[in-house]
Structure 1
Amino acid sequence: MVGLDNAGKTTILYQFLMNEVVHTSPTIGSNVEEFIIMVIDSTDRERLAVTREELYKMLQHEDLTKASLLVYANKQDLKESMSAAEISKQLDLTSIKKHQWHIQSCCALTGEG
């Protein structure tokens, strides 16, 4: 699971695994697996270009050539959040041809999505 800081990665993980919200500290490090979950703070318009750049770099990595991609458009409970469709367009997800991908609106705090 990847994403910029404060996107909600750890909150989503604990919501998924334990069905509860936990208060977390920043996580350091990563693991390579068969799929990529990228969590995006849907309110962070200023850093979406950075997210896009990091996503495309990651998709080029030799360990991830067969990885599927799930993009979580987190923080959909906030009125200033971008929609999943808007994020998909900004990230140019339709240009990704060598990986299966899906974008999902979500709210880590409530477990929706």
Structure 2
Amino acid sequence: MKQPVLIIASLLFLAQSASAAGIPEPRRIELLNLLKHDCGSCHGLSLKGGLGPPLTPTKLQGKPVDFLAATILYGRTGTPMPPWRPFLTNREADWLAQQIKEGVQ
């Protein structure tokens, strides 16, 4: 029973490492600062809500990473959510969306 858990944990670790591998560490630090400060200015400094909705794992449960990444890149029409496409690549938006879903702050 422990072996399947270990295999799953290893695969999750490798998937996260592979995802982060394409983004250099200095850029990941910049992206986390963007998440805390720029996203936090609307979604609350702890991302628990403000002008924008909460970005907590509980509130985002069931929302796919690609949906969140598209929202980051293209914004939401009819809402204050701006497009971040001029500043982020697809890979960076995917990485940020994954961080938000995992509750990394």
Q: Which protein shows a greater Rg?
A: 2
More helix as a share of residues: 2
More strand as a share of residues: 1
TM-score by length of 1: 0.25
TM-score by length of 2: 0.26
